[in-house]
Structure 1
Amino acid sequence: MKRNLLFLIIVTFTACKTPTERWLAGMEDFREVRSATLSLQALRMKESARDTAELNYKVRIYPSRAWLGANSRNGRAADFYYHMDSAFTVKYGNQTMQPQLVQPVANGLSTCFEYLVTIAVTPGLKMKTLSILYRDRFIDGKTYEMNLNRP
């Protein structure tokens, strides 16, 4: 009897999620893309239980050691702190939009550059595959795509 009651309570609580909460639960917690010249990581930040208006990721860019060694002395590394908001784009289906916020984070690490990327959750966004695009302008000039939906 207790087991049946416990099962009923669990089913009741799991069924109480809104469609947006279920969609947010299907987003990837960690994604990484690598090339010979850089590594790009996206780590999902935990939001409050009822915050369904935004999706937040910490994005880290790790340039290769060769690039860091050659460019840290001449000031090229400082380029990563300015005008990076246009380097990130959100792709959903065949459409794109700018993130709601791209904020550089001073993390104290000399081997990577970190950004807070905030995506506004809209009804059209929830129906399609979601990705973060990073268009590099300083290391290799390539575009990197990180799919944020769980397989």
Structure 2
Amino acid sequence: MEKLKPLITLLIFIFLVACSHKNMLRQTGDKELTVQLADISSPAVAGDLSFAARIIPDREKFGTSLKRSKENLLYRMDSCFYLQKGAVKVYSQLTQTVANGLSVSFDYLVTFDIDHFDEQKWNFIYLDKYLNKKKYTIKLTD
């Protein structure tokens, strides 16, 4: 038992650090669609904001329309992601589909170029254009 104490202490420490990490997953959605977001920005690059975004449509709701919209969800997402502060919108500089091997979700690398970014004032927006035409907002602060 004495040999396990350092290991248990280390695991608790790792758990606490992981829970307090800035890159925590944020999520919003409804019964039709779930949007998940993680900040993966590099602190070494000023003005560069990068996010990992995942769109998870409800397969029962969008069964056949999901098959028809798949090409759009893979290749035409450029103007679907933006940051908004009041009336100001900043569209992504790069929206890249990330192959995840899953047929139930769509992953994206979304990058913005904003100098003097203050996350207190900005929201991440996903404006769906291909499935339900709804707007999903994720606050970038707790």
Q: TM-score, normalised by structure 2?
A: 0.74
Q: Kindly tell me: are residues 127 and 59 of structure 1, through their superposed partners in 2, closer, same or farther at Cα, counting changes over 3 Å?
A: closer
String of CA shifts for 1:78-100, please: whole Å, max 9, x gaps. Answer: 22012210111111243111112
Q: Which one-letter code corresponds to 2:44 in the other structure? A: R
Where structure 2 has 5 or more consecutive residues not aligned to the other structure, the ranges are 1-20
Cα distance in 1, alignment partners of residues 93 and 119 from structure 2: 19
3-state SS of paired residue (1:86): coil
Match of 2:32 in 1: 37
Partner of 1:79: 72
The correspondence for 2:109, drawn from 106, 116, 122, is 116
In structure 1, distance between residues paired with 2:111 and 2:22: 14
CA distance in 2, matches of 1:42, 1:105: 14
Residue aligning to 2:50: 56
Aligned with residue 97 of structure 2, among 104, 118, 122: 104
Question: Which of 64, 74, 83 is matched with 1:90 structurally?
Answer: 83
Moved over 6 A (4+): none
Contact 2:65–2:131 (Cα < 8 Å) also in 1: no
Report the residue type matching 2:33 in the other structure: L
Using the size of structure 1 for normalisation, the TM-score is: 0.70
- Matches of 2:41 and 2:79 in 1, distance apart? 24
Number of aligned pairs? 122
CA distance in 1 between partners of 2:114 and 2:22 (Å): 12
Structure 1 residue 112: Cα displacement: 0.4
Larger Cα Rg: Structure 1 or Structure 2?
A: 1
The percent identity for this pair of structures is: 28
Inter-partner Cα distance in structure 2 for 1:54 and 1:79:
26
Partner of 1:147: 139
Distance 1:127 1:77 in 2: 32
